[in-house]
């Protein structure tokens, strides 16, 4: 009996050790993603960065600037213009692009985007209906983007929007990048 109890104790210790090692490995594999950065900027060792400017901010970008999200996805606001809605009110139209440079499928959603006014109020996208009651066939919806794929679509915001914000997730309050409406 004493040998069986000893074997059971050693077996439990081995199982616990394996679980701990797997958990450590899982947490270690999540590292390495430093978050979003302006596409085209590179990660260089500290010795090579001496004398160079700090990494570019992902805030208050100009239209046409792409941001590498650090997970293989790149997002950009390609263009910004003012358009008229069905009732004559003005809307801000932004054409946005997702590029999937990873080996995994990523998601896209119009609710990844918000507009911010001069008072700092952040609001979800607006629905655009043209004067002829037509909708925008290129409006960004939601879906998945396969590895290597690209998705371009339009999102709309209220007149008075001064910044276009990208959070990457409807439930996230963290802004990963912002573009200035000129």
Q: Could you tell me if residue 172 is inside a domain?
A: yes
Q: Could you tell me if residue 52 is inside a domain?
A: no
Q: Could you tell me if residue 91 is inside a domain?
A: yes
Decide if 90 contacts 84 (C-beta within 8 A): yes
Asked if residue 69 and residue 137 are part of one domain, the reply reads yes
Q: How far apart are CA 140 and CA 170, in angstroms?
A: 14
Q: Could you tell me if residue 51 is inside a domain?
A: no
Q: Could you tell me if residue 25 is inside a domain?
A: yes
In tens digits, the chain (182 residues) has pLDDT values of: 555 555 566 666 665 656 554 545 444 334 445 567 787 644 444 434 444 445 689 999 999 999 999 999 999 999 999 999 989 899 999 999 999 999 999 999 999 999 999 999 999 999 998 877 678 889 999 999 999 999 999 999 999 999 999 999 888 889 999 999 98
CATH code for position 62: 2.60.40.1240
| Phi, psi (deg, nearest 5) at residue 86 | -55, -30
Asked if residue 80 and residue 27 are part of one domain, the reply reads no
In terms of DSSP bridges, do strands 106-109 and 66-68 run parallel, antiparallel, or are they unpaired? unpaired
Q: How far apart are CA 96 and CA 77, in angstroms?
A: 4
Q: Could you tell me if residue 23 is inside a domain?
A: yes
Q: Could you tell me if residue 36 is inside a domain?
A: no
> What are the structure tokens assigned to 46, written together?
């500290």
82, 106, 56, 162: CA torsion to nearest 10? 20
Decide if 64 contacts 53 (C-beta within 8 A): no
Asked if residue 62 and residue 25 are part of one domain, the reply reads no
Asked if residue 23 and residue 75 are part of one domain, the reply reads no
Give the domain range for residue 151.
58-180
> What are the structure tokens assigned to 182, written together?
């000129």
Asked if residue 153 and residue 97 are part of one domain, the reply reads yes
Length of the chain (residues): 182
Q: Which residues, 6+ apart, have CB-to-CB distance to 71 below 8 Å?
A: 33, 102, 106
Number of domains in the chain: 2
């Amino acid at each position: 009996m004493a040998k069986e109890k000893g074997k059971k104790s050693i077996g439990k210790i081995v199982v616990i050790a394996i679980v701990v090692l797997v958990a450590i490995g899982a947490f270690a594999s999540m590292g390495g993603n430093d978050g979003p950065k302006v596409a085209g900027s590179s990660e260089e060792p500290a010795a090579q960065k001496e004398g160079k400017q700090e990494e570019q901010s992902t805030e208050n970008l100009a239209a046409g600037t792409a941001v590498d999200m650090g997970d293989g996805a790149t997002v950009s606001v390609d263009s910004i213009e003012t358009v008229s809605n069905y009732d004559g009110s003005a809307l801000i139209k932004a054409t946005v692009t997702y590029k999937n440079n990873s080996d995994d499928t990523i998601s896209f959603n119009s609710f990844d985007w918000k507009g911010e006014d001069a008072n700092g109020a952040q609001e979800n996208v607006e629905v655009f209906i043209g004067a002829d009651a037509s909708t925008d066939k290129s409006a960004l919806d939601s879906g998945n983007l396969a590895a290597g794929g690209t998705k371009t679509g339009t999102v709309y915001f209220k007149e008075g929007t001064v910044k276009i914000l990208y959070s990457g997730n409807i439930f996230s309050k963290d802004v990963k990048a912002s573009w200035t409406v000129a």
